Structure 1
Amino acid sequence: MKPDEFRRVGHEVIDWIADYRERIETFPVLSPVAPGWVRDHLAPLPEQPEHGFDGLLHDLDTVVLPGTTHWQHPSFFAYFPSNASLPSVLGDLLSTGLGVQGMLWATSPAATELEQHLMAELAKAMALPDHFEGVIQDTASSAALVAVLTALHRHGDDWRNKGVRGDEVVYVSGQTHSSLAKATRIVGLGEDNLRSIEVDPDTLAMNADALAAQVARDRADGLRPILVCASIGTTSTGAVDPVEAIADLCAAEDLWLHVDAAWAGPAALLPEHRHLFAGVERADSFGANAHKWLLTAFDLSLYWTAHPDTLVQALTILPEYLRNDATESGAVVDFRDWQVPLGRRFRALKLWAVVRWYGLEGLRQHLRGHIALAEALEAKVEHSRDWLTAAPRSLALLTIRHRDGDQATRDALLRINASGEAYVTHTVVNGHFAIRVAIGSETTEARHVDALWNRLEA
């Protein structure tokens, strides 16, 4: 493809994306196709070049779109948002167009230094401590794995050469994201080395006293506690763990404290909600996803650590073919040592595009608007004869259940999702089936939330 061909076809692709976003509300939010439908409608790969995108765009319209669940739809209330704002789409295009591989400073100085600048500026805007140093991971799952690996290195006896001893213990709550369980498994520790601490039945936050008691029991049994994950905004209900109390324990017991704020983290941009982040300044690592609530196309996860040297020591491997003068000088950062994979995309460019387009104040308005919509929905639930909250509202996440019980709640969820007019998911709270309403799409307005409420009340 020559640059002039790219220009012509690129205009067609941009037009297709723009048209799709303009008509996104005409599609059912949840794809209605049966398993295998998409594959059955795809043609064999062409033997000869097509020299155009006409056929590909036709297949997008006739095969891909029917098989797509529309995450950018304003009535997408499932899981958490995955905002691919159009400025971030263009930023991603620029990153891909440059085609750099930023594993070393030397392989693209701009990729490294723009990321350093962006992470430092965001930390300042979110009132994070000055001693935090940041790096972009792909997802919060990778961030959790990096945290566990760094904790193992800090607490291990020659861990890099000998691996885990098998007596290391990681602590989560029953509400912690499953990525911590997976990370524990990946590093070679089994389920027996993961402790699920009880939560407060009202707030669903980790019980710090129960955590302290479990750590004491494990030490008495000759085990080695290494890491606690505290959550700010759990996936199930948005619960906020008592980070201050957990930080006290971690300081006393020399445990790595990882704070997972994958969804709620961007709310630190809002001064009125910074009380939720009390104690984060004492964490060893802190993660928040820009690809959930911060208008940035998947994947881009923000990860800060108070101990970058320990992280690099845990993950660095320097074969001869990666040696270069800049690295040897010690004057630069090579982000390959801050993550699990060697290669890395120029992800910072799409987040930079977002911040430049909206400005920090625009991002704050985006967050506040969703919180206000959730507050309005909460008020409707409080005055409803049929619905009640299953857990306290957390920012823009509301968890509700029907007064008539689990089956009535389940029936409402199935009815809404089958209609194609909205998409919600469920969780279980204190034994009760509940619906999660996660408000976060860039184009969601009061009319979309009101329409969802009318369907719930039907």
Structure 2
Amino acid sequence: MGSAAADALLPLDPETFAAESHAVVDFLDGYYRNIQSYPVRPDAELGRLRTLLPDAAPEDGEPVDVVLEDVRRHIVPGLMHWQSPSFFAYYPMNASTAGFAGEMLSAGLNVVPFAWAASPAATELEAVVVDWMAKLVGLPERFLFSGGGGGVLQGSTCEAVVCTLVAARDRALIMLGGHEGILRLVVYASDQSHSTFQKGARIVGIPPANFRVIQTSAASSYGLTADSVRRAVDADVASGLVPLYLCATVGTTGLGAVDPLRELGEVARRYDMWLHVDAAHAGSSLICREFQDCLDGAELADSVSMNPHKWFLTNMECCCLWVASPAALTSALSSNPEYLNNISTENAAAMDMVDYKDWQIALSRPFRAMKLWVVLRRYGAVAMRAYIRRHIDMARWFELELEADERFEVVVPRRFSLVAFRLRPRHEGDDVEALNRRLLMAINSSTGRAFLTHFVVDNKFIIRLAVGGAMTEMQHVRAGWVLVQEKAKEVGATPGRY
């Protein structure tokens, strides 16, 4: 594109928009048709891309087909292919055709619904969608807008955690009579809780020494126990500290453990702590009735979060955060500069209007509700339950295969679609941790046939297989099991020697 073209730049010309959008869709169509031909994990060298791209941005624009060719040649080979059907690492990061359609509508309309007046339909759709999700997962009425609570779509659990910590902090500081009391506030979580809680506590000013990591054990299936929390809280209270915030998890990252919400909720109520329930991944499974008992006691919580972008076919970024008291959130996060008061909202009080800028950290925000709404409309609850159950059945099959092979140990019973396992030692005195590290390295170095990750619990190095990819079918899980067996033999674990 030369200078004359630059002078006549029409960034949203409808004809160009149609042609270039079709080119991108065609490119992605080819990518997904051929995704199984790519190694799940790239064999990438650090700094490779910098050697392939120019040192500076171009002075003149280039045709979209030239740009897409560079994506194909230079970008795609260096990607971890999270949507590969043989991606079993971390937790899945779902995408779907409905998710893409919603994302395209969100990006294409490109509104900024930070306040009701800034985009009324976007704000109201978000309130509708989070209530739909709350009902689907079986949350108590107090988390619905109709029940006095409400929800918001954050970008991630990390953002949801920071927002709830701020709300809990400010509520406590009012009671303590000033901000100097922050040095007395204490946050509690288990050794299985996500690290984002420690990060969030630091961000909101809780001293690192006031973050309590409470140990769990195999006796409680690595769930947090009320007795262990009570002991920690009693010791802090005796030292003049103030219990602030307790994290409970439904489906921990490492092992899929489920904390007992009712017992923890009773402890939180006794000490006037904020109780947050983190169901980032496993929350999607709660749409199935057989898992809703995991939320027993949720009526005692102050906030709950789950990520549809993990296991609910909704593209990144989409995290549902529900609070029982929206006022606690908005009083800590609201701001009303004069330049935002230039749109008439004289009927705001009568409308019970929601301004989502006061429910999050940032002012600006994308139209996230559109993509979740399209997923719910396009697939419906029945198909989504079948989708979740299919992954759980695949994980159950993998677990049964492990149990039938004497070389392997299932470290904890499977929870949801996560299987945690490791090789047993062959002989007394064997370095079983090194053996399992070699096994995982062998699996992930197998020309990209699959990708798994690990966790450490009770000083044991374990391997995690998380089933949940949008394109994953039983054949891919079976192929994963064949690969695990093959690599186990390579590292010296031979059947019949145990």
User: TM-score, normalised on structure 2?
Assistant: 0.90
Aligned counterpart for 2:190 among listed residues 162, 173, 187: 173
Seq. identity, %: 39
Deviations along 1:1-58, one digit per CA (max 9) or x if unpaired, are 31101101111110111110111000000011111112211134211122x2111111
CA contact (8 A) 1:327 1:334 kept: no
Alpha-carbon distance in 1 for matches of 2:270, 2:389:
37
Specify the SS of the correspondent of 2:463.
Answer: strand
CA contact (8 A) 2:139 2:295 kept: no
CA contact (8 A) 2:225 2:264 kept: no
Q: CA deviation at 1:391?
A: 1.8
Counterpart residue number, 2:164: 147
Alpha-carbon distance in 2 for matches of 1:361, 1:242:
28
Which aligned runs of 4 or more in structure 1 are off by greater than 4 angstroms?
A: 158-161
Specify the SS of the correspondent of 1:131.
Answer: helix
Counterpart residue number, 1:364: 385
Specify the SS of the correspondent of 2:89.
Answer: coil
Q: CA deviation at 1:191?
A: 1.4
Equivalent residue letter for 2:104? L
Counterpart residue number, 1:209: 227
User: TM-score, normalised on structure 1?
Assistant: 0.97
Aligned counterpart for 1:75 among listed residues 72, 86, 97: 86
Aligned counterpart for 1:115 among listed residues 126, 136, 148: 126
CA contact (8 A) 1:85 1:296 kept: yes
Deviations along 1:176-204, one digit per CA (max 9) or x if unpaired, are 00110001000111210100112132411
Specify the SS of the correspondent of 1:238.
Answer: coil
Q: CA separation of 1:160/1:69 partners in 2, compared to 1, >3 Å: closer, same or farther?
A: farther
Counterpart residue number, 2:154: 137
Superposed CA RMSD in Å reads 1.5
1:342 aligns with 2:359: no
Counterpart residue number, 1:417: 444
Specify the SS of the correspondent of 1:390.
Answer: strand
Specify the SS of the correspondent of 2:422.
Answer: strand
Aligned counterpart for 2:420 among listed residues 388, 399, 409: 399
Q: CA separation of 1:349/1:327 partners in 2, compared to 1, >3 Å: closer, same or farther?
A: farther
Alpha-carbon distance in 2 for matches of 1:251, 1:401:
39
CA contact (8 A) 2:182 2:205 kept: no
Counterpart residue number, 2:37: 26
Counterpart residue number, 1:12: 23
Deviations along 1:118-141, one digit per CA (max 9) or x if unpaired, are 111111122211120111011001
Alpha-carbon distance in 2 for matches of 1:327, 1:423:
55
Q: CA deviation at 1:321?
A: 1.1
CA contact (8 A) 2:173 2:179 kept: no
Aligned counterpart for 1:48 among listed residues 60, 68, 76: 60
Higher gyration radius (CA)? 2
1:438 aligns with 2:466: yes
Aligned counterpart for 1:272 among listed residues 273, 290, 295: 290
1:428 aligns with 2:456: yes
Aligned counterpart for 2:335 among listed residues 291, 306, 317: 317
Alpha-carbon distance in 2 for matches of 1:336, 1:293:
26
Task: Out of 180-189 and 148-157, give the one that drifted further.
Answer: 148-157
Q: CA separation of 1:72/1:159 partners in 2, compared to 1, >3 Å: closer, same or farther?
A: farther
CA contact (8 A) 1:378 1:393 kept: yes
Q: CA separation of 1:297/1:271 partners in 2, compared to 1, >3 Å: closer, same or farther?
A: same
Q: CA separation of 1:441/1:163 partners in 2, compared to 1, >3 Å: closer, same or farther?
A: farther
Alpha-carbon distance in 2 for matches of 1:327, 1:386:
70
Alpha-carbon distance in 1 for matches of 2:235, 2:179:
26
Alpha-carbon distance in 1 for matches of 2:244, 2:438:
44
Alpha-carbon distance in 2 for matches of 1:321, 1:173:
44
Specify the SS of the correspondent of 1:32.
Answer: coil
1:290 aligns with 2:308: yes
Counterpart residue number, 2:114: 103
- Specify every segment of 5 or more residues in structure 1 that has no aligned partner in the other structure, as ranges: none
Equivalent residue letter for 1:325? S
Q: CA deviation at 1:160?
A: 11
CA contact (8 A) 1:152 1:159 kept: no
Q: CA deviation at 1:375?
A: 0.6
- Specify every segment of 5 or more residues in structure 2 that has no aligned partner in the other structure, as ranges: 1-10, 144-149, 426-431, 487-498
Equivalent residue letter for 2:33? E
CA contact (8 A) 1:197 1:207 kept: no
Q: CA deviation at 1:325?
A: 3.1
Alpha-carbon distance in 1 for matches of 2:39, 2:329:
45
